[in-house]
Chain A
Amino acid sequence: MIEKKNQARRALKVAAALLFVTAMVWQHIQAIRLGYQLDKSRQHLLTLRCSYGMLQGDIETLLSPANLSLQARSRLGMSLGSLDSLRVLAKDPAENPCSGIFQRLLSRARRTWNASLDV
């Protein structure tokens, strides 16, 4: 009886040791696999960064003054406006006789309120 118990304990110890070794080996293999996956992800990240950078560059190129000017002239038939055709409107609507009455009233009210706060 005692011998059987001893044998069982020995068998358990051997099994535990084998399990431990298997776990260590499995962990090592998993670490290597994770390393490979990580490297693959890094490569993927680089390709995405490359695509992102290229797209960013494309946006800048499309929005560059040279391209906008070309598109405006060739496709839309636009041309540079002369300085004489521009009118600079006053920033404050109250000073601009062409702005709406509500805008002007609102602007005046805002100015009065700001002035009272300063006092």
Chain B
Amino acid sequence: MDLQARLAVASGICLLPLAPLAARLAHLQVLEHRQLQSRVEGEVLHAAHEALGRGEILDRRGRLLAQSVPAWSCFLDKTPIKDARAAAERLSPLLAMPASEIRRRMDTAARVVRIKDGLDGAQFSAVTESKLPGVNLILTQKRLYPNQELARNVLGIVGAQEHGLSGLELVFDERLRGKPRLLAYLRDGSGRVIQNASGPAAQRPEPLRLSINRDIQFHAEEVLREATAQFKAKGGMIIVEEPATGALLAMAATPPTHLKNPMVQDTYEPGSTFKLVTAAAALEESVVSLEDPFFCENGTYEVSPGVFIHDHEPSANLNLQGILEHSSNIGIAKVAEKVGTKRFYRYTRAFGFGLKTGVTLPGETAGQMKSLPELTKVVLAASSYGYGLGVSALQVADAYSALANGGTLYEPTILDGKRPVRVRRVISEKTAQTLTRMLEGVVEHGTGASARIPGWRVAGKTGTARKVDPRTGEYSNSAYMASFVGFLPASRPRWTILVVMDEPKGQYYGAQVSAPVFAKLARRLLAMEAVPPDADTNLAAVP
């Protein structure tokens, strides 16, 4: 055999053992290629949506009310852990959690247990660098409210999955979540990850800018808290609205809750604050003139056999101005008789009562109004001074805003930058001006004297309504809703402010309880915004 042949045989003998390997390789790479590839992809390739931060919520002036930051949840796979106690001791300082608590969470039948949520960047880095076996960190988001409890009844809350559960977080949930990008990623044997984006680019959520002014909200909440404590009330509500646009500047409620907004979701009997509707109808329809006297029966009036209306301050003859200043129920009932059921019903609806305002807050109630056939003589009389019907606080504030801006009802809005939505003209400018002067009279020489602010013209109305005792179904002698609603400065109104106190103890009239709260808040707003006094008051300059 020559040299070449011998070399060929020797090579063949040396390479022969590789033949089965080559055959196996060909079998795997060619014949079983597709099947193996899908298995590998199933174990190594994953897809998930990018954890996109939830959109910010800002106040009117761009200050942060809510934001989301990246956070991590720590999970523990118990399989590779030999010594649970040692693992807990090592994890404890990294997670700022007692080791006993970690062990308690590990002490379940589940293989993978959640140890802690909401880890910040420093904790994430510390846990990652520790390279503890079995520890996994999942990226999530944490919702923060830098102003703590401020406006939380409006903002609402988010759940564990960063979905809105109440308030604006619920209403604008889709907008605040944005559209995350789909990410494909490879995970190697040691758990390291390589990401590839595979879907369209993410749509980051735009910040949600509210009409709420953080400072006004703060003052409203503080004043309300103090009043609730002072009068030992069950609760209270304050709304501050911009009458020219319907923008809601503050919505405060006690007791504080994240789950509901009582100003749009609850109803109450408004009492004498509803006299605005009756008076407006009478003036606009010219069924009553400013000088017409109404005999107020010296405090007791039998409107129907066996049915009596009482005034808290007996009077003889009062004109419409006097009826409002003294808050005479008998007087306004007689005005309502002149207005008639049809006109009264029409003006009730025109002012927005019995209808939803359209504000973008969840769970809004339309209130409860009697239908036209139900407006008997007695029901009309009671309705004329705000009994026998249910209204929301927002409806009342909105109605008075309509008066303040010259007679146009606007849709209240919680969003900034939204064009004011004009609902309808309710009354003429002339009627609005006349009524405003009357309500100024209520504050100057009537029941609303506690709302007076020297140097500024204030227009408003008190309201005191008995609550129905749920046990007996009759009006209680000890439970009242005390309210005051007004706007200032009356010459060019900037704010409509509604104050409602639920079951104040001791004093319970709107004049005693709510009007001073109105004045307290109004003073703060006037000082804060440096609103100059109304033109006809002359204050000396600083010496």
B4 within 8 A of A: no
A56-B148 in contact given A46-B139, A49-B69 (Cβ < 8 Å) = no
* Contact B69–A54 (Cβ < 8 Å): yes
B422 located at the interface, meaning its Cβ lies under 8 Å from any Cβ of chain A in the complex: no
Residues of chain A within 8 A of B524, CB atoms compared: 80
Contacts A54-B69, A80-B524; A96 near B147 (Cβ below 8 A): no
Given A57-B69, A60-B63, A65-B218, the answer on whether A87 and B150 have CB atoms closer than 8 Å is no
Q: Is the CB of A64 within 8 A of B150?
A: yes
Give which listed residue, B69, B146, B147, contacts A50 with CB less than 8 A. Answer: B69
Chain B residues, Cβ within 8 Å of A77 = none
| A23–chain B nearest beta-carbon distance, Å | 21
Query: Would you give the shortest CB distance from A42 to chain B, in whole angstroms?
Result: 7
The listed residue (B146, B453, B533) touching A60 by CB distance below 8 A is: B146
Contact B541 A89 (CB under 8 A): yes
Say whether B433 faces chain A, with CB atoms less than 8 Å apart.
Answer: no
Stretch at the interface among B39-47, B155-163, B189-197, B506-514: B189-197
Cβ contacts A93-105/B at 8 Å (1 or 0 each): 0001110000000
**Residue numbers in B under 8 Å from A56 (CB-CB):** 64, 67, 146
Within B499-530, which residues are at the interface with A (CB < 8 Å)?
A: 523-524, 526-527, 530
Cα distance A80–B223 when bound, in Å? 12
Beta-carbon contacts under 8 Å, B91-148 to A: 120-122, 124-125, 128, 139, 144, 146-148
CB-defined contacts of A82 to chain B, threshold 8 Å: 523
In the complex, number of A-B residue pairs with CB atoms less than 8 Å apart: 109
Q: Please tell me if the beta carbons of B453 and A83 are within 8 angstroms of each other in the complex.
A: yes
Residue in A closest to B193 when the chains form the complex, CB atoms: A39
Complex: A38 Cα to B530 Cα, angstroms: 54
For the complex, give the distance between the alpha carbons of A52 and B68 in Å.
11
Known: A56-B64, A64-B146. A83 touches B194 (CB 8 A): no
Q: How far is the CA of A66 from the CA of B530 in the complex (A)?
A: 20
**Bound complex: CA A59 to CA B63 (Å):** 11
Could you say which of B128, B146, B526, B542 has the most chain A C-beta atoms within 10 Å of its C-beta?
Answer: B146
Residues of B within 8 A of A47 (CB): 70, 121-122, 124-125
User: Are B68 and A86 interface neighbours, CB within 8 A?
Assistant: no
Least CB separation from B523: chain A residue:
A83
Contacts of A96 in B (CB 8 A): 541
- Across the interface, do B218 and A66 meet the contact criterion of CB distance under 8 Å? yes
Query: Chain B contacts of A50 at CB under 8 A?
Result: 69-71, 120-121, 124
Look across to chain B and name the residue whose beta carbon is closest to the beta carbon of A45. B70
Q: Is B215 an interface residue (CB 8 A)?
A: yes
Q: Which residues of B have CB within 8 Å of A76? A: none
What are the residues of chain B within 8 A of A51 when measuring CB–CB?
120-122
Residues of A within 8 A of B68 (CB): 53
The bracket for how many chain A residues form the interface is 35 or more
User: In the complex, what residues of B have CB within 8 A of residue A32's CB?
Assistant: 194
Are B195 and A87 in touch, CB under 8 angstroms?
no
Decide yes or no whether A61 CB sits under 8 A from chain B: yes
Write out the residue numbers on chain B whose beta carbons fall within 8 Å of the beta carbon of A57: 64, 67, 69, 144, 146
Q: Is the CB of B542 within 8 A of A66?
A: no
Choose among A59, A61, A65 the residue with the greatest number of B CB atoms under 10 Å from its CB: A65
* Binary contact readout A59-93 vs B (1 if CB under 8 angstroms, 0 otherwise): 11101111001000000000011111011110000
In the complex formed, the residue of A with least CB distance to B194 is: A35
Residue B214 contacts which of A39, A65, A87 (CB distance < 8 angstroms)? A65
Q: Is B532 an interface residue (CB 8 A)?
A: yes
Chain A residue nearest to B532 (CB atoms) is A88
Contact of B307 with A by CB under 8 A: no
Does A20 interact with chain B (Cβ within 8 Å)? no
B539 near A83: Cβ-Cβ < 8 Å? no
In the assembled complex, the CB of A92 is this many whole angstroms from the nearest CB of chain B, namely: 13
Cβ of A39: which chain B residues have Cβ within 8 Å of it? 192-195
Tell me whether A7 is interfacial, beta carbon within 8 Å. no
Shortest B535–chain A CB gap in Å is 13
Contacts of B527 in A (CB 8 A): 81, 83, 86
Please report the C-alpha to C-alpha distance between residue A49 and residue B50 in the assembled complex, in whole angstroms. 15
Known contacts: A47-B121, A53-B67. The answer to whether A61 contacts B147 by CB under 8 A is yes
Check B150–A66 contact: CB distance below 8 A.
Answer: yes
Using CB atoms, name the residue of chain A closest to B185. A39
Contact partners of A97 in chain B: CB under 8 A? 541
Given contacts A38-B194, A46-B139, A87-B540, 19 further A-B contacts (CB under 8 A): A35-B194, A38-B195, A39-B192, A39-B193, A49-B121, A53-B67, A56-B67, A57-B144, A57-B146, A58-B146, A59-B146, A60-B64, A61-B148, A64-B148, A65-B147, A65-B214, A65-B215, A81-B527, A87-B541
Name the 4 nearest CB pairs between A and B, nearest first.
A53-B69, A47-B121, A35-B194, A60-B146
15 A–B contacts from the bound complex (CB under 8 Å): A35-B194, A39-B193, A39-B195, A42-B195, A49-B69, A49-B70, A52-B69, A53-B69, A64-B218, A65-B219, A69-B218, A83-B526, A86-B527, A87-B542, A88-B531
